A and B are shown apart, each in its own frame.
Chain A
Amino acid sequence: MSLLTVNHLTKRFGGLIAVDDVSIRVEQGEIVSVIGPNGAGKTTFFNMLTGIYPITEGEILFDGKNIHDLSPQEIVKAGIARTFQNLRLFPDMRVIENVLLGMHINVKYSFIDTLFKTPRYRREEKKLHEDAIEMLKGIGLESRIDSYASNLPYGDQKRLEISRAIATKAKLLLLDEPAAGMNPQESEELLEFITTLRTKGYTIILIEHDMNVVMKISDRIYVLDHGKLIAEGKPEEIARNKIVIDAYLGKEEA
């Protein structure tokens, strides 16, 4: 069974059909890219997967369960976490706090524990911080735990945002243009980072414009244009696909 199955998903904003009858499936451990020209409905698609927008029609099955009626918070708990097209870190929180916030849903102590600083509170907080430091070591940011997120270099912020999503213990990560605004060296590093995530067992859906990244990393690619799914397949198939090339570059005048 696929980890994620999306059947006939549609989103209408009044008369505008942003996503039109899109069906995809994602297997455990895959990296799947969703590409398409600007305004193709990619981010709207993500927003429906994560519960920001209610869907108009269709269904979303994650791990065999319907998730399209759940709130964003419940979807995170179910195991889907995302990053944003424009960085959305918590700028005035420390680097370590950003990761800790990602762990929020997995923290098991109550308000009473907080107020009386019970052993459970201390034990949990200690464990959380150790895990967060371990996680930051993994992305080479352990020396910056005291920094405020807004003071990190751009590439580090991007990786921190992905780590924050991972901290939720999600199985499926949705990355919305992770390589946007990066120079070639940074996007190369990001590519490596995402590859290591796959080896750790994460399943990833990627929205990306950087074709270099998309072609190198994806197992499969879905192409959206004007809200419709126009192609799907392996990277080399997509690169040769006539319809996709037309969508990106425009049709030749006959």
Chain B
Amino acid sequence: MMPNDNKAYEQISLFVNKYRKILLIAAFVVTLVLPFVIKSQYIIRIIVMIGVYAVLGLSLNLVTGYTGQVSLGHAAFFAIGAYASAILSTKYGMGFFESAPMGALIAGFCGLLLGLPTLRLSGSYLSITTMGFCEVVRMIFLNWDSMTNGPMGIQKIPKPEFFGTTLTLGNKGLYYLMLAMVVVTTYCISAIVNSKTGRALKAIRDDELAAGMMGVRTTRMKVFAFTVSAFFSGFAGAFYAHMINYIDPNSFTFDTSILILSIVILGGMGTLTGPFLGSALLVSFPEALRFMQEYRFVVYGLILVIMMRYKPQGVLGGQKRTPYVLPKGVARPETAKAKE
């Protein structure tokens, strides 16, 4: 427990926990009607980007927050998903709903290939490897002219079509598509986290040797987390490509990896809500501070520094005061019913 966790924060977290269901439904309703309230396409676009980065954050969180493996190369999977889906749709005429899952699968497969040899490494070695991988991927996209069109990037990526309707920002289609992607990702990650797999991942994070001694196949579990994470990052990439319509290798640099990692750390490692908060903050800051021009990145950096000083486990991270959620039908022991 951190000494600077104050009363107000505790009150809020208990309140949120008590009305969890109602708040979730309320949040869902709000997100459903939001595009009808907000008329500005600019703001809708920012919200959609928040959604994309929330998915990236959620997927990296599975690897970094839950399993404790720091990846500095998640932009690579984002890029693979984007490029794969873009190429499949522009060159092979697939629609978004075929090319995007394919892109995600390809990204997941690359995650598996990278994970198998590298996840035997740990700590900073793994981070460096993933960083190198990200750069390799970018270089391939930059130089594989025949397929990726090199530095020119891929243009005219078609917008997703849903039963004959083209989904755009203007007709709110992309917004709801983003919402669907976020819901599916959140559901899958939360299902994984709340199962034996999730417990095994957390155990690896806390003490890898002890986890192995309890029968957890640690390498296999890490590769699994990495693959799932790459899959969802790839999906976010595919969505991004079809939303922006144009991608080039410079859309997926080391900076993007760092942004994703910052989202996870700022929001709160090992939480499901953290990536949403982190994404909302870090994606909207540069927009909100646009009037400060280049100084905004100073502010941006400052926020991260202050965060690390006062709440290094992230805004929503760290040990929770809320009770452990038992499965339905399991009686809570009498003595454990205290309000703490």
- Is there an interface contact between B327 and A94, defined as CB atoms closer than 8 Å? no
Contact across chains for A90 and B329 when beta carbons are under 8 A apart? no
Contact with A101, one of B192, B209, B216, B333 (Cβ below 8 angstroms): B216
| A residues neighboring B (CB under 8 Å) | 50, 52, 72-73, 76-77, 81-82, 84, 88-94, 96-97, 100-102, 104-105, 107, 109, 111, 114-115, 117, 121-122, 125-126, 129-130, 133, 136-137, 142-146, 148, 151, 164-165, 168
Task: Give how many B residues have a beta carbon under 8 Å from the other chain's beta carbons.
Answer: 39
Q: Please tell me if the beta carbons of B196 and A81 are within 8 angstroms of each other in the complex.
A: no
**What are 26 A-B residue pairs whose CB atoms fall within 8 Å in the complex?**
A76-B215, A84-B210, A88-B209, A88-B210, A89-B206, A90-B202, A90-B206, A91-B206, A92-B319, A93-B206, A101-B200, A101-B211, A101-B216, A104-B214, A114-B191, A114-B192, A114-B195, A121-B195, A125-B327, A126-B329, A129-B326, A133-B330, A133-B331, A144-B336, A145-B336, A168-B215
User: Considering the chains assembled together, what is the distance between the CA atoms of A93 and B205 in angstroms?
Assistant: 10
B203 to chain A: which residues have CB within 8 Å? 90, 93, 101, 104
B293 located at the interface, meaning its Cβ lies under 8 Å from any Cβ of chain A in the complex: no
Pair B214/A168 contact, Cβ less than 8 Å: yes
Minimum CB–CB distance for A140 against chain B, Å = 10
Q: Which residue, A84, A126, A146, has most C-beta atoms of chain B within 10 A? A: A146
C-alpha spacing A66/B64, complex, angstroms: 38
B327 touches A122 (CB 8 A): yes
Cβ–Cβ contact A104 & B202, under 8 A = no
B324 within 8 A of A: yes
Whole-angstrom CA separation of A89 from B209 in the bound complex:
11
* Of B191, B206, B215, B332, most A-chain CB atoms within 10 Å: B215
Complex Cα distance, B232 from A126, in Å, reads 29
Could you tell me if B319 and A148 are in contact, using CB atoms closer than 8 angstroms?
A: yes
Contact residues of B between 201 and 226, Cβ < 8 Å to A: 202-203, 205-207, 209-217
A76 to B216, CA, bound (A): 9
Beyond A90-B207, A92-B202, A93-B202, 16 additional pairs, beta carbon < 8 A: A52-B209, A73-B216, A76-B214, A76-B215, A90-B211, A100-B199, A101-B199, A114-B197, A115-B188, A129-B327, A136-B333, A142-B335, A142-B336, A143-B333, A145-B324, A145-B333
**A97 x B335 contact (CB < 8 A):** no
Main secondary structure of the interface of A (DSSP, over half): helix
Answer whether residue B123 sits at the interface, using C-beta atoms and an 8 A cutoff: no
In the complex, A37→B205 CA distance in Å? 34
Chain B residues in 8 Å Cβ range of A89 = 206-207, 210
User: Residues of B at under 8 Å CB distance from A?
Assistant: 1, 188, 191-192, 195-197, 199-200, 202-203, 205-207, 209-217, 270, 319, 323-324, 326-333, 335-336, 338, 340
- In the complex, what's the smallest C-beta–C-beta distance from A103 to chain B, in angstroms? 8
User: Nearest chain-B residue to A125 (Cβ)?
Assistant: B327
Given A93-B203, A122-B327, A126-B328, also A82-B213 (CB < 8 A): yes
A88's contact among B195, B207, B328, by CB below 8 Å, is which?
Answer: B207
Partner pick for B217 among A73, A121, A144, CB 8 A cutoff: A73
Whether the pair B212, A72 counts as a contact (CB closer than 8 A) is yes
For the complex, give the distance between the alpha carbons of A165 and B210 in Å. Answer: 10
Contacts of A107 in B (CB 8 A): 196
CA distance A167 to B207 in the complex (A): 18
Chain B contacts for A76, CB-based, 8 A: 213-215
Query: In the complex the two chains form, what is the Cα distance from A102 to B217 in whole Å?
Result: 13
**A114: B residues at CB distance < 8 A:** 191-192, 195-197
Report how far A80 CA is from B1 CA in the complex, Å: 34
Bound: A102/B191 CA distance, A: 20
List the A side residues contacting B332 at CB < 8 Å: 145
The 9 A-B residue pairs whose C-beta atoms are closest, nearest first, are: A143-B335, A105-B215, A90-B206, A76-B215, A142-B333, A88-B210, A114-B195, A107-B196, A129-B330
Q: Hey, which chain A residues are within 8 Å of B195, CB to CB?
A: 109, 114, 121, 125
Known: A104-B196, A109-B196. A73 touches B209 (CB 8 A): no
